[in-house]
Amino acid sequence: MLSYKLDEEHEELRKTVEEFARDAVAPVIGDLYERGEFPYDIVAQMGRMGLFGLPVPEEYGGMGGDYFALCLALEELARVDSSVAITVEAGVGLGVMPLFRFGSEEQKRQWLPALCAGEKLSAFGLTEPGGGTDVAGAMKTRARLEDGEWVIDGSKAFITNSGTSITALVGVAAVTGTRPDGKPEISTILVPSGTPGFTVAPKYSKVGWSCSDTHELSFDNCRVPEANLLGERGRGYAQFLRTLDEGRVAIAALSTGLAQGCVDESLAYVRDRRAFGGVIGRFQALQFKIADMEVRAHNARLAWWHAAAKMAAGEPFKKEAAIAKLTASNAAMDNARDATQIFGGYGFMNEYAVGRFYRDAKILEVGEGTSEVQRMLIARELGLDA
């Protein structure tokens, strides 16, 4: 019989991150969010806790845990703030994991210890200004071999963790040739921060995730050693497909955390807010709304747990990852809207967490593959591919 109870180790981690989010993140994040500041102190604390190295073996500076542990941490962080949670998700899922899964032994020894410690961050340069969902077909960034160096030209958009003072490198997906079938050959090349020809644009002005770091990147005759190729030449497309499948489970966990945070904040509010002679939590209309919110968060959690379990077991999980991401991002958006409605005018004020939740929720239906893409993937896995 299946058990939905966390084992002792995972439960201890969950409680530790829950306490950290409540005691260390919640008191300061609102002010940082208002100013749009990257939370360096919080990142350093999370690094010392080992959150950036959770799924990485100890020999590379990690905690020797698993991807499920990472997702548990993301859910608990996102119950308080999604900017902090996405910093960890991108740092690990898009930065650490490609290096760990596809990097050479030398690359792993060089980069992973500092990344796992949270002392440095790594980014994943995939999306392009004119690409969107059509990543492979619209990719214009090119890299050619010249005198033992990769020469990179092109640009990337919406790249998380790419411009902080502790960003160490970016994995850049680039067209490196043409395959026998005429399609572009895509490879991933590691570009250290500060490399001549690598320019980081000013940070975006975003609707939400105001404490996360996001930039457009450009490469103009940017040269790095041939040894900076990540994995095999021409395997970049397969690499980022694997990375995105895993990332969808992580984003589902993060989305679940935001959805649950909306429940937490709403419960506290309706138990304290008084109107018409008593607390507003006695009104059935609000009780039903919060009950529906809890159902959404519960279902989202079951969905990402299932996808994570299949991934941990080494079973195909593409469909389950898409289901989890679609279910959880919908739950986050719906719960954020309902929580804002429950708070009334206060829900529109940034001093309240639900205001941040509402601003942060929408991107969860877009990043790591839009909701439309998730439906397309699910249909394809059901044998409905055209």
d(CA 264, CA 49): 25
Q: In whole angstroms, how far apart are CA 136 and each of 141, 156, 170, 228, 312?
A: 10, 13, 18, 21, 28
> ∠ CA 29-24-206 to the nearest 5 degrees?
20
Q: In whole angstroms, how far apart are CA 293 and each of 206, 272, 296, 349?
A: 26, 19, 5, 21
Nearest to 143 by CA among 200, 228, 214, 80: 228
Place of tokens 């002792």: 8
113-130 b/e with 16+ CB inside 10 Å = b?
A: bbbbbbbbbbbbbbbbee
Q: In whole angstroms, how far apart are CA 324 and each of 100, 304, 320, 368?
A: 24, 5, 6, 12
**Pick the catalytic residue: 216, 368, 372, 381?**
368
Q: Are 258 and 209 in contact (CB under 8 A)?
A: no
Q: Give the three-state DSSP class for 187.
A: strand
Q: Are 74 and 46 in contact (CB under 8 A)?
A: no
> ∠ CA 332-338-342 to the nearest 5 degrees?
140
Widest Cα–Cα separation across the chain:
80
Q: Say which DSSP state 210 is in.
A: T
Classify strands 184-192 and 229-230 as parallel, antiparallel or unpaired. antiparallel
- Examine the residue annotation and report whether 368 is marked as an active-site residue of this protein: yes
Q: In whole angstroms, how far apart are CA 281 and each of 274, 284, 286, 355?
A: 9, 8, 6, 20
d(CA 99, CA 93): 10
Name the percent of the chain in helix, strand, coil, to the closest 5. Answer: 55, 15, 25
Q: Give the three-state DSSP class for 129.
A: coil
Q: Are 240 and 232 in contact (CB under 8 A)?
A: no
Residues labelled as active-site residues: 368
